[in-house]
Structure 1
Amino acid sequence: MAVLRQSQSVENKHKLSNTLRNWLPILHSSLSDLGEAMEPFVSANPVVEVKSGYEEDFEKKIPKKIVSGSGVNNSRTEQIEALTIQSKSLYEVLDEQLEAPLFPTPISQEIAQFVVANLDENGYYEGESDEFCQEHNIDLDAFEKVRLRFAHIEPMGIGAKDLSESFLFQLDNSEISNEAYPLGVEMINDLQNIHSYSNREHFSEVMHIISTFKNPPNIEYQEDSSHVVPDLMIYFNDEQQIEVKLNDAYYPAINIDTSYGVEHDFVSQKIKEAKSLVDALEMRKATLYKVGLMIVEYQYDFFIGGQIMPLTLKTLADEFGHNPSTISRAIANKYIACDRGVLAMKDFFTTAIDEDVSNAAIKEFLVGLVKAESREKPLSDMKLLDLIQEKFKVKMVRRTIAKYRKQLNIAGSSERKKLYQLGLS
């Protein structure tokens, strides 16, 4: 019996090693390239037949809660477009809308074009409005009235000055009830403390509506989504609970022909190899599904309308018992479809100063500090350092603040003071 147990152990170990050998290239490939990754295993195995998952219509396989949207009236069917190829650039889409009835006059169209020309990489407006108004001899109120018409063009939220205004733009175009709307405005204007409103009537409705908003507003256009097929769909079901669904219907189907005589060693070996390929495919599904569950656990705030929180690859690697480099390759070229668009899995992982604070969060806070600073006495790098360390409870050095400033195109305090005095900033 001892000999038998040893034989079974060796056989199981051999099967597992074969599966793992197949699993790594299958795991590392994107869903759209999965068939190509399997080709070396399939071409050398006469008992295996693979049917491509591409032979069916992709959109038919996406949960209706994503395709139909979740409460946002959108004549351009934005939820479907979020899962298909973007055929036009952001600027082409905007240019088509810079005309009557929203922008009926030459000056209104010029203002609209100025706003579009001064969008940052996230779709927020950061132009020098005062300078434009002086050049065209109009007052700032007139300029703002035209800019605020961007609340009615797509993508929704574009042209807003910040996240809160972008969400207000999107709120005005949502199907929120009249009763819940005032609370929605109140919560959006106090996003930092959004969960403190949980005991208010209509809180659930507002949170559900906010979860459909795009953040940033140009998220669908930030990278070319051509040939992108998401591995996972994350969406709210009818009970308003988040669900994670594998796009398993898009996987290749593996058929094993067992009509050959299994008494032949060659055939028997090929059938074992084919079964290990099936096991490897199932391991890929299980691994990515677990990644999806962890992303929902750590990034829940994002799916209800908030920011992506700090999450390191090491956290995920520790959960799986793998090296972070293995996890990095595993999430490469993998995508998640949700109500807020199609995002690369890597986007949910941020570089961290420590386990709790991301450099993205610190940069965002730094920008806020500079925007709110006194024009007579701008904040020095040392003062910025003190405020950041106090806010995030981390230890940093002044040169890191200087580096972040340069990355954000923010001048030093003395230079900013000169710009303020000249009215150029």
Structure 2
Amino acid sequence: MAGLRQNTSVETKHKLSNTLRNWLPILHSSLGDLSDAMAPFIESNPVVEIESGYEDDFEKRIPKKIISGQVSNSRTEQIEALTIQKKSLYEVLDEQIGKPLFPTPVSQEVAFFVVENLDENGYYEGDSESFCSKNGISIDEFEKIRLRFAHLEPVGIAAKDLAESFLFQLDSSDISDEAYPLCVEIIKDIQAIHNFSDKEHFSEVMRVLGTFKNPPAIEYQEESAHVVPDLMIFFNDENSIEIKLNDAYYPTIKIDSNYAVEHEFITQKIKEAKSLVDALDMRRATLYKVGLMIVEYQYEFFTGGQVMPLTLKTLADEFGHNPSTISRAIANKYIACDRGVFAMKEFFTTAIDEDVSNAAIKEFLVGLVKQESREKPLSDMKLLDLIQDKFKVKMVRRTIAKYRKQLNIAGSSERKKLYHLH
């Protein structure tokens, strides 16, 4: 795969920096929104005309390898978790309402009522008292069921306010046991957050809070636009992997040469128009190189395996830029391959250690539970010990509980009861 890097043609670091600085909206926008991002530059420039490449049917432009590609591996759940599917927030929640969190008709009825009474940000705003009165249940019972939403995706959904949403997300975070109490205290008094700056573990709390979603439904608000992939990755007839830019969707820029170039204003506008063309070319070159690196580091995924550890810093070091710049470059960008359509950011996993991804740990956890004794299921502490010993990493029990809930695996005592039912 090393040969892939050598085949790409990338502009100089100076030109890349200039493009990012002057035309950041073009780099940051999705392919579907690219024409809109360029509109302000076009409207103020009389020598430029633009033709959108967005109107044609996307499927006609996808290589047949991608359209007809079939997934043939045992990691179906991982694929489904990563694939960009055009599902609404309500469809995603509906799929999670059932066992083990909502096993009874009453709990499911409460859950559906909560979902139906979410506002556009994902907060619960229903009339709980009227519902309880009508259905003959207590407010306490209702609240116990609603609080189970803390274990659903997206984390933080169905909270009553920002503080409660953050508490939901806190229990699914990677915060240490030592910093946890301070984080709870800060969340409950978030307006006075700087009063805690001299406390031990304050920096860790700030890091964790910075990862929380606000509002909890924000990712579904952002994903309402039509998805158009920037890159297509597939195996060709020679069974070698191929990377193609979705060039057909790029807008075409035409510079009118009929103007008198000796006029200073026109000369400046022609220069700006050429810079706009350069910006588009740099966008192509940047994303193509990102695609090459994703294939190199995630080759196992494209052949049926799992996503491996890959950080933004790795790409930033290759480009000679800050990770935040690369983060903007991959934002709102998608890749089409024979396993589905994926957001570029999905190929950058959270690495627990340099060579260990959370995806690998989750897969190992599933294997441990499948092989455990039905008489004595593994506790979270035992799972923690086995995982730390296997991967040589340092974790906390809360992280194991979080992964278990994400994988829809009940606690050890519940699993023991379930085993005895069979």
Q: Which of the five TM-score ranges fits, normalised by the shorter chain?
A: 0.5 to 0.7
In structure 2, distance between residues paired with 1:412 and 1:19: 52
Distance 2:24 2:70 in 1: 37
Name the structure 2 match of 1:401: 400
Structure 1 Cα separation of the partners of residues 71 and 411 of structure 2: 45
TM-score if structure 2 supplies the norm length?
Answer: 0.58
Question: CA 1:257–1:239 in 2, change beyond 3 Å: closer, same or farther?
Answer: same
C-alpha distance in 2 between matches for 1:263 and 1:289: 37
1:245 to partner: Cα distance: 0.3
Contact 2:261 2:267 in 1 (8 A): yes
Unmatched 5+ stretches in structure 1: 1-11, 73-82, 92-117, 128-222
Partner secondary structure for residue 54 of structure 1: coil
Give the aligned partner of residue 387 of structure 1.
386
Q: Deviations 1:234-277 (Å, cap 9, x if unpaired)?
A: 01111100010000111000001121111111000000000000
Distance 1:20 1:313, change over 3 A: closer
| 1:50-199 matched pairs, under 5 angstroms | 50-69=50-69
2: CA distance between counterparts of 1:86 and 1:414? 37
Structure 1 equivalent of residue 269 of structure 2: 270
C-alpha spacing 1:14/1:34, structure 2 compared with 1 (3 Å): same
Please name the residue that 2:21 is paired with. Answer: 21
Identify the structure with bigger relative contact order (alpha carbons < 8 Å, sequence gap 6+).
Answer: 2
Judge conservation of contact 2:307–2:359 (CA < 8 Å) in 1: no
From the superposition, tell whether residues 346 and 377 of structure 1 become closer, same or farther in structure 2 (CA, over 3 Å).
same
In structure 2, relative to structure 1, the CA distance for the partners of 1:405 and 1:345 (3 Å cut) is same
Counterpart of 2:227? 228
Compute the RMSD of aligned alpha carbons.
3.7
For residue 348 of structure 1, report the CA deviation from its aligned partner: 1.2
Q: Does 1:373 align with 2:375?
A: no
Match of 1:42 in 2: 42
CA distance in 2, matches of 1:406, 1:88: 22
Tell me the secondary structure at the aligned position of residue 343 of structure 1: strand
Equivalent residues, number: 279
- 1:375, CA displacement in angstroms? 1.6
Q: Secondary structure at the match of 2:377?
A: coil
Alpha-carbon separation, structure 2, partners of 1:323 and 1:15: 16
43 and 396 in structure 1: CA distance in 2 versus 1, 3 angstrom threshold: same
1:287 counterpart residue number = 286
C-alpha deviation, 1:288, in angstroms: 0.4
Match of 1:350 in 2: 349
Give CA deviations for 1:36-69 in whole Å, capped at 9, x if unaligned.
Answer: 0001111100001000002434333222332454
Whether the 8 Å contact between 2:84 and 2:341 is mirrored in structure 1 is: no
Task: State the AA in 1 paired with 2:49.
Answer: E
**What is the deviation of 1:405?**
3.2
User: Matched residue of 1:390: which SS?
Assistant: helix
After superposition, the Cα gap between the structure-2 partners of 1:87 and 1:320, relative to the gap in structure 1 and judged at 3 Å, is: closer
2:376 and 2:16 mapped to 1: Cα distance? 66
Output the amino acid matched with 1:379.
Answer: L
| Change over 3 Å in CA distance of 1:17–1:224 after alignment to 2 | closer
CA contact (8 A) 2:71 2:304 kept: no
Change (3 A) 1:279 1:63: same
In structure 2, the residue corresponding to 1:49 is in which secondary structure?
strand
Post-superposition offset of 1:410: 3.8
Instruction: Report the structure number with the largest CA radius of gyration.
Output: 1
Residue 329 (structure 1) shift: 2.0
Whole-angstrom distance in 1 between the partners of 2:304 and 2:87:
26
Residue by residue over 1:302-355, the C-alpha shift from the partner in whole angstroms, topping out at 9 and shown as x without a partner, is 111111112122212221122222222221211111111111111111111122
Distance 1:120 1:241, change over 3 A: farther
Is the CA contact 1:49–1:255 (under 8 Å) kept in the aligned structure 2?
A: yes
| Contact 1:85-1:227 within 8 A present in 2 as well | no
Distance 2:404 2:17 in 1: 50
Q: 1:329 to 1:69 in 2, by over 3 A?
A: same
Counterpart code for 2:53? G
**Distance across 2 between alignment mates of 1:374 and 1:54:** 56
Aligned mates of 2:371, 2:382 — CA distance in 1: 14
Matched residue SS, 1:276: helix
